[in-house]
Amino acid sequence: MARRERGNKLERWEVALVKAMVAEGRHNDQDILAYFTRPMRTINHARISDVREERKHKTVPAASPEELARFLRTWPQVDPQTGLHILGDERVIKAREAMIQAVHGYNSPRALFKAEIFIATAVIAWTYLLHHVYERKGIDHRLKRTVDGKEEVLKTRHGADKHWALEDCLAHRECPLDEPTKANLRFLIAIRHEIEHQMTRRIDDAISAKLQACCLNFNRALKALLGERFGLESDLSFALQFATIEREQRDVLLAHGDLPANIQAMAATFEDGLADAVARDPRYAYRVYFIEKSVNAKGKADQVIEFVRASSEEGQRVSRILLKEAEKRKFKPGQIVALMKAEGYTKFREHEHTQLWRSLKARDPKTGYGVYLKDGDWWWYESWVGRVREHCAANRATYAEPDAVPA
């Protein structure tokens, strides 16, 4: 059976309109009831008589004649698919539209700043959704400050109340979102803070798993918090493409991302503080792996996209491989030199190490040998340690004492 999220309860703004209609005297209870009943939300006729006889809602003032006229003129203003009303459900409508626009913007083939546009619009969507939830729970989500021992609501320049930002919504103890979902949003907010008012190189591919998780989390939250019919499946689906992923494109995707140093530092710092269970959760970063397959069977495609369940044996194997790749150890030059000395190359010093990486241009991020982190620090991956080891072995006579290292 479909769920009625609000039962037969009239909202405050609706009570005000009912009172205005009663005062006007042109509508009987049955007529008034028709204006406030819609799909998935039926109002008992007794609620109208409660208002007329003043058995309930005595403190709610009647709507003005202008407000009533505007309501009647624009009625029904209801989305037939979801039953959302533009007056009572404005935040939900805006939340859904913002997320749809975020996805449309990201999928646009002509968009050059996909991730930046998506994050800004998705943050708006999540903020509207959580504001709606807190208002339904009776939680005051206005920004306040204490002055001379008294709490006052902060105002905009023209006198409107200021409300919580998304960070404030996530921090509240009544936040209905799970930890991986909150971690995903905090990551995107941190990215936004790093790139706002700045030019930056493309970061779309590097954080696409976080963006996909954000979409799925939002759709899941809509249905869990409001009802199944509010999901976006019918509004958004798979994006069609004019081209397949060619081998050259695949190689680019697999190459080490050339991200700005501040973005890499932010991501590394943020994820170092995450619990392993959260970091691996698809609600934090949703990953789909494309596997190229060649088949000989007649009628089969040469290239297919295969979805492997994470819980399957193959999914577990892929997960182990990817986890090993993602959690790369990092080394400073002194550590690499110490490793080489421990292996018998006692004459290999930091000077020789510097000459080696300069000659090979190994600090080019495209090589995948290392990464810039905080304050411009460069850290080397194990792949570079292996390359240094090969160099030392090829120059054994220069770096090792006689018979110190077996040939």
Of the residues 74, 102, 127, the one at which a domain ends: 74
Each residue of 352-405: pLDDT tens digit?
999 999 999 998 877 888 888 755 688 898 889 999 999 999 999 899 887 655
The reply to whether the predicted model has a pTM over 0.75 is: no
Residue 218 near residue 226, CB atoms below 8 Å:
no
Query: Would you put residue 54 in left (φ > 0), alpha (ψ -120 to 50) or beta?
Result: left
Each residue of 114-163: pLDDT tens digit?
888 899 999 999 999 999 999 888 899 999 998 888 889 999 888 899 99
Residue 144 main-chain phi, psi, to 5 deg: -135, 165
d(CA 385, CA 367): 13
139 and 230 within one domain: yes
187 and 143 within one domain: yes
Q: Which helix (H) or strand (E) segment is 370 a member of?
A: strand 370-372
Q: Which amino acid is at 173?
A: R
Each residue of 337-359: pLDDT tens digit?
999 999 999 999 999 999 999 99
d(CA 336, CA 352): 11
| Full residue range of the structural domain in which residue 68 is found | 12-74
49 and 166 within one domain: no
Residue 392 main-chain phi, psi, to 5 deg: -65, -40
d(CA 224, CA 219): 9
103 and 249 within one domain: yes
d(CA 107, CA 216): 15
Residue 302 near residue 296, CB atoms below 8 Å:
no
94 and 19 within one domain: no
pLDDT band at 168 (very low <50, low <70, confident <90, very high): very high
120 and 60 within one domain: no
Of the residues 23, 43, 74, the one at which a domain ends: 74
Hey, what are 371's tokens? 């990464």
69 and 32 within one domain: yes
Considering just the CA atoms, what is the radius of gyration of the chain in Å?
30
Each residue of 84-125: pLDDT tens digit?
777 778 888 899 999 999 988 888 878 778 888 899 999 999
236 and 178 within one domain: yes
Residue 226 near residue 128, CB atoms below 8 Å:
no
d(CA 219, CA 221): 5
| Number of separate domains in the chain | 3
> Does any domain span residue 101?
yes
